[in-house]
Structure 1
Amino acid sequence: MQEVMEEEATDGLPQFLDLEASSLRFGVSYPTEVAWSDEAGHIYSYLIKPDPRWTDWSRSAEAITGLSREQLFREGHPVHLVATTMNHQLAGRVLYCDGGAHDAFWLRRLFEAAGTPCRFLLEDISRMVPSTVMGWPDWPAHLQGLIRDSRLAAGQAHRAAPDVAYLRELYRRVRESLEQMTDPTLTSYSPRRAQLR
């Protein structure tokens, strides 16, 4: 396990999650790495040892993440350990991701292989932005700038821990931006407890 401790942790942050995978093929791909943040902003990351039933592999995914299947067998943690740890830390929580149906699918595969139910919910990060903001004419271009700056601040893409850091940074920048642009009460988020499908 790798834990990334942040110097300026802040209590009460939303929690974020990211998964990397063997490929983008629905039905056969599986998670290779998972990371999540806690409410203080700390990030926890696990490489996942492939379940014996998981045989899919993409060399292009390996090139993007830098993770080989051999490395996962050597350094990865068993699916049951990863799922149990996540349930212990995250039960009853809502975690935000930007991988939509892919992240939901890989999370299901992890918990199905572990033989245990997932005890937390996954929601798309876009749900954190008030719907009234989405219609603003300048918002799409402004958001693209925030996405670019957040990625630069977070570092390497396509590894789970830096991608969680990116989501946390994007949340911070969007929230600050909305507070400057509009009534701060609009920026409070209330998670919709609907699991991604």
Structure 2
Amino acid sequence: MSETLPTLLDIEASGFGRGSYPIEVGIARTDGSCCAFLIQPLDEWTHWDPKAELLHGISRQRLEREGYPVRQVALWINDELRTLGKAYSDSWGYDNTWLSLLFHHAGIIPGFRLEALRILLSEEQLAVWSDTKEAIIAEQAIQRHRAGDDARLLQLTFERTRHLTEGRAS
């Protein structure tokens, strides 16, 4: 790999919209490795959308049993991203809101910025993004709608679209 890959962050949530909260955070690192943590819901986090559970396959009971405390997850994210200073998300509006909620309830200030992945993509990359992403899903055993795997999928798609479009830009 001649060029460094961007660090991608993805969040799975209890649903969308008012009352939703983060349930899993995943990071794909610059070296291509990835990791993810389930988040133990706080008592006041009661919103649960069964349609979201159908997508990610994570039950609230599993979060209560296997999730990590909010503060521990926020500290882990800061440890992962502080030296880089930023990570990217393909769903910045949602992910930034859920990340802010997580850090607010943890009582911790994020030591990094979350930025929209879109700012890294050329028009040529955008033109082939969707087809490339679908091809990678078909080729590899990527479990969709799990934070770590989705972050890695975005990173692989970024890398492939960059290589596909090298030399095309004028």
TM-score (norm 2): 0.90
Aligned to 1:156: 143
CA distance in 2, matches of 1:10, 1:178: 16
The structure 2 residue matched to 1:94, chosen from 86, 92, 100, is: 86
User: Taking structure 1 as reference, are residues 126 and 153 closer, same or farther at Cα in structure 2, changes over 3 Å only?
Assistant: farther
Q: What's 2:133 paired with? A: 147
Identify if the C-alpha distance between structure 1 residues 59 and 52 changes in structure 2 by more than 3 Å, giving closer, same or farther. same
What is the match of residue 33 of structure 2? 42
Contact 2:13 2:23 in 1 (8 A): yes
Compute the displacement of 1:11 (Å).
7.7
Q: How many residues were matched structurally?
A: 168
Does 2:48 match 1:57? yes
Per-residue CA deviations over 1:44-101 (Å, capped at 9, x if unaligned) read 1100000122111111111111100010000000000000111112115211111121
1:168 and 2:162 are equivalent in the alignment: no
Letter in 1 for 2:13: A
Whether the 8 Å contact between 2:133 and 2:154 is mirrored in structure 1 is: no
Q: Distance in 2 between matches of 1:64 and 1:94?
A: 28
Q: 1:36 to 1:153 in 2, by over 3 A?
A: farther
Superposed CA deviations along residues 126-163 of structure 1, whole A, max 9, x for unmatched, are: 11113xx36x9xx63x3332122233345221111110
Partners of 1:55 and 1:76 in 2: how far apart? 15
Which residue, out of 84, 91, 108, partners 1:116?
108
| Identical pairs, percent | 33
- Greater relative CO (CA pairs within 8 A, separation 6+): 2
TM-score, normalization by structure 1:
0.78
User: Unpaired runs of 5+ in structure 2?
Assistant: none
Over alpha carbons, which structure has the higher Rg? 1
Tell me the C-alpha RMSD between the 2 structures.
Answer: 2.0
